[in-house]
Chains A and B, each alone.
Chain A
Amino acid sequence: MSEYLFVDSGAEILKEGESVITVKDLSPGRKKYRCSLVRAELSSNPAKLPKADVLRVIGKLGHSRPKPWAIRIIEKVAVY
């Protein structure tokens, strides 16, 4: 199970269902925090998205949200 980070700044909307958002890969190593724009299935309730990865969320000033979301990445999207 992989972990990702999302900054909920209001620029990209965190909502239930399919969405295109920017996530940062939290896998340890040299590429930790690498950003990707992805189309993904999202849920605030991990039980509703079994075998999904973990999406940690921080607010626009970096405050950590207590409950992670579930994320299942469908595809990477080109930024331009």
Chain B
Amino acid sequence: MAVKSNRDFIAKLEEAGELVRVKEQVDWDEEMSAIVRRICEIHGPAALFENVKDYPGARCLGAPLAENRRFAVALGLDANISYQELRAVYAERMQKPIPPVEVKKAQAPCKENIIAEKDVDIFDFPSPMVHDGDGGRYVGTWAYQITKDLENNWVNYGIYRVMVYDEQHLAGLFTPSKHIGQQIEKYRKAGKKTVPVVIVVGGDPVSSLMASFDAPVGVDEIDCAGALSQEPIEVVKCEHSDLQVPAQSEIVIEGEVMLDVTVPEGPFGEFTGYRSGSGMRNLIKIKGITHRNDPIFTISNMGIPFHESSLRGLSRSLTYEKFFKSLGIPITNCHVPPEMSEMVLVVGVKTIHADMAVRVKNAFSAWRPSCMHKIIVVDEDVDVFNLNEVLHALATKCHPIRGIKAYEEHILHLVPALSVEERTKGKGAVALFDCTWPTEWPLEERPPRISFSTYPDDLVAKITKKWTKYGFKKV
């Protein structure tokens, strides 16, 4: 059974040895986030900061889902489950979306404290200054936003960065290519001045994960969270709009995106591993805050992988795999290596006809744009989840001229390699690295791959079985 709340998650992480309680005082101004960043880079446990400077009694959970092990714990699985097993469980559970169920206010822990608009002061919460050089403090690092489509009842959960402006205002980066940006645009075209929005800090881990993953347009992430949890997520109605929020949330900030008012936001260190630029973004007016008693804030620190965003590759790889297969492309597997900041897609194919890699690339471009802009296509004998094998194929089978093809097309502006002009104008490029043998090469002309797995099956089985008897450690 998946965990239902941030607090249950903390208890389960502690049981699994995936959490450290930090009782030493830490400063919200960079120190706390720098610790989180180090945790990410050494694959360390999550941190529950229990002594935050200027905020007596406040607690912050850092790097809650910065590892696959903690993803497994969130789903109620063994922390030591393999990546492929985790991926299989995810794919299986996602077959059956489960809509949420509404509970009464009295049953919703997130309503234990209700702060009216006139009393709102966002500085009462320990929003961190995350990176040296950021443009401000971010209430939204591991927090998700909920918005509803104007034309239908599609409810979008998404994780977008949100900066603190003043006591009662925030500023969010809601780019037009993101679902929230598309929904906001509909309000603008309809002549609306505001868009109701909710920002959930300290949501249950499954809802938070689903907010960070890619559900297609029109799919409610909360139904997917129900699928992953194998039971409906309990939600409760908001105080200032008809939006609903998961009842177990720690802090719920209710507000309105003000479409006619912009303020400077950013820069901010992003999941790409680089700081991305500042610009004028819509102001968010806070209408009220509800929170649990002694709320636990959550923070992430994006940068060089691994971090919370790295888990998104799992869902993305399955999304592409499903899409390619729906087009009849003979895919073996897809993988988004977390080490490559979600910029690279590795696709294993059976090359049943010429230019299979180009067909994969064309299908890729038909899907919605993201930061992913390098596609490595490998033959079916390469394990796409094994980065050593993928890099070996890239190094040896990708012809420096014929194997690399570049295409000018739109990708998300956060890709650091883009020029200032490209970022501004929404331009970009995608590169295809074809690491498959050309189909016109006769079998006898294709250099056979040499590895342990290419020995006869019975010999491989025998050696594997006797490995420790030879005197080696178990692999």
A contacts, CB < 8 Å to B = 7, 9, 11-12, 22, 24, 29-37, 58, 60-64, 79-80
Q: Which residues of A contact B266 (CB under 8 A)?
A: 7, 9, 60
By the criterion CB–CB under 8 Å, are B267 and A7 in contact?
Answer: yes
By the criterion CB–CB under 8 Å, are A61 and B123 in contact?
Answer: no
By the criterion CB–CB under 8 Å, are A29 and B264 in contact?
Answer: no
B72 nearest CB across to chain A (Å) = 35
B contacts, CB < 8 Å to A = 29, 54-55, 123-124, 129, 131-137, 164-167, 169, 258, 260-261, 263-264, 266-267, 275-280, 283
A58's closest neighbor in chain B, by CB? B133
Q: Which residues of A contact B54 (CB under 8 A)?
A: 29-30
By the criterion CB–CB under 8 Å, are B133 and A62 in contact?
Answer: yes
What are 27 of the A-B contact pairs (CB < 8 Å)? A7-B264, A7-B278, A9-B267, A9-B277, A22-B263, A29-B54, A30-B54, A30-B124, A33-B129, A33-B137, A33-B164, A35-B165, A35-B263, A36-B166, A58-B133, A58-B135, A58-B267, A60-B266, A60-B277, A60-B278, A61-B133, A62-B134, A62-B267, A63-B133, A79-B283, A80-B258, A80-B261
With A24-B136, A30-B123, A33-B164: A61-B280 Cβ-Cβ less than 8 Å: no
By the criterion CB–CB under 8 Å, are B166 and A35 in contact?
Answer: yes
Find the residue from B54, B165, B167 having the highest chain A CB count within 10 A.
B165
The complex places the Cα of A75 from the Cα of B164 at a distance, in Å, of 21
Q: Which residues of B contact A9 (CB under 8 A)?
A: 264, 266-267, 277-279
A61 in complex: contacting residue of B165, B169, B261, B277, CB < 8 Å: B277
Given contacts A60-B279, A62-B132, A79-B263, list 8 more A-B pairs with CB under 8 A: A7-B266, A7-B267, A9-B264, A9-B279, A11-B280, A36-B166, A62-B275, A63-B133
By the criterion CB–CB under 8 Å, are A33 and B264 in contact?
Answer: no
By the criterion CB–CB under 8 Å, are B169 and A79 in contact?
Answer: yes
A80 nearest CB across to chain B (Å) = 5
The complex places the Cα of A68 from the Cα of B40 at a distance, in Å, of 34
B262's closest neighbor in chain A, by CB? A11
B133 in complex: contacting residue of A24, A30, A37, A64, CB < 8 Å: A64
B167 nearest CB across to chain A (Å) = 8
With A9-B277, A34-B123, A34-B166: A80-B283 Cβ-Cβ less than 8 Å: yes
